[in-house]
Chain A
């Protein structure tokens, strides 16, 4: 049993599930606030997303962790689902499709992590 190869599927499934749950719970309200309400000046004051307010949030370990979890898990959820839907729209998947899908999530994860860390604590 020493050369028994374990499947890596549960890892991707776990990331898909976690991202799916997080995006189901937080996605709608976040899109509404950051993408519609604040830009249009609805309900919230414009300073809600001002540099002076968002920078400390991204420097706080809790805020940093939340931002990282949202961005990274959203990305892993999305690419997993897109990868498995490619067959439905007539695209035969292979190593290249897998690399493009999961690779782009990895790039987004690494970029987000390094940028968040560069902001300091």
Chain B
């Protein structure tokens, strides 16, 4: 009886079920939510790549791509993509204090909240900038 593992039957060894493990804890749910955003990032990259291919095929092909973007399925997809991208932006800067090297200013460690908030501020600034650029460019 020295080895605990030998007490289990060889015929039906117990395996702890792992299905749905991430639903056990809100922390795991948040982890899964931010990992799933990668699927959205991949999907949008494909949507844009198709756009580039259609652009190189001429005006009719490009207009076909624009028309496809107006379909209800595409609008629904992009709504889901938008939600994922917002979760990605939020979580990316939330975990950034843990993924980047520590920064010291005047002997004091830069607070994690400062890094996170600076990141979120940058997202807001870039969003406004792209918005204004698009408005200026269409005129």
A contact residues vs B (CB 8 Å cutoff): 17, 19-21, 23-36, 38-40, 43-45, 47-49, 51, 53-55, 58, 67, 70-72, 74-75, 77-79, 81-82, 85, 88, 90, 108, 111-112, 115-116, 118-119
For B19, B55, B89, B130, the residue with the greatest tally of chain A CB atoms inside 10 Å of its CB is: B55
B contact residues vs A (CB 8 Å cutoff): 18-19, 22, 32, 35, 38-39, 41-42, 44-49, 52-53, 55-56, 59, 62-63, 66, 69-70, 74-75, 77-79, 81-82, 85-86, 88-89, 92-93, 99, 119, 122-123, 126-127, 130-131, 134-135, 137-138
| Pair A54/B82 contact, Cβ less than 8 Å | no
| Pair B69/A51 contact, Cβ less than 8 Å | no
Offer 28 A-B interface pairs, CB within 8 angstroms, sorted by A: A24-B92, A27-B44, A27-B88, A28-B85, A28-B86, A28-B89, A28-B123, A28-B127, A29-B130, A33-B130, A33-B134, A34-B48, A34-B78, A36-B79, A44-B135, A48-B138, A67-B52, A71-B48, A74-B42, A75-B45, A77-B38, A78-B45, A82-B39, A82-B42, A108-B45, A108-B46, A112-B49, A119-B56
